Amino acid sequence: MNKSDKLTHLDQQGTARMVDVGDKSDTKRTAIAEGAVYMALETLRAIQEGVLKKGDVLAVARIAGIMAAKQTANLIPLCHPIALTHIDIDFTLDESQKAISIRAVVSTTGKTGVEMEALTAVSVAALTIYDMAKAIDKAMQISNIRLLEKHGGKSGTYIAQT
């Protein structure tokens, strides 16, 4: 393992610690994450038509994802609280896949990246879709949550293989 592969959240004794980012420069940082919720075609159509008793599933899931991104440091113990400057969550409904794809773009100008915030946004948006539609489809599956891209910071750009 070379120095760049070192786990930064562990000290020399293997104890968990929060990384000191105090000396790092502020830079523009962006992360894009995605995931999907697979469901019965009838469930997808009910969400699309807005006929579920709990209301507008995608509007609520979008707000939940935004709120989750802002709360990431409260959910994941060693994440730094970050002043986010942009959060965008989009949904794509695909009848052929019987799925709702979720994509979150999160940005900041700061000392550490926003990958966890983007992943948290997608995860909570997916959980919200499940929660709001579970009365008609308990067999829904949340899947394929991953980091697509990250830009900025010391490690530069990452783009996932497709």
Q: What domains does the chain contain, in order, with CATH numbers?
A: 27-159 (3.30.70.640)
Residue type, 6: K
Q: What is the pLDDT of residues 107-162, one digit of tens each?
A: 999 999 999 999 999 999 999 999 999 999 999 999 999 999 999 988 899 999 98
Cα–Cα dist 160/91, whole Å: 20
Q: Which residues are catalytic?
A: 131
Residue whose pair of structure tokens reads 């990384």 in the numeric block? 19
Residue type, 5: D
How does strand 27-38 pair with strand 86-94? unpaired
pTM: predicted TM-score of the whole model, two decimal places: 0.90
pLDDT of residue 25: 82
Q: What is the pLDDT of residues 56-109, one digit of tens each?
A: 999 999 999 999 999 999 999 889 999 999 999 999 999 999 999 999 999 999
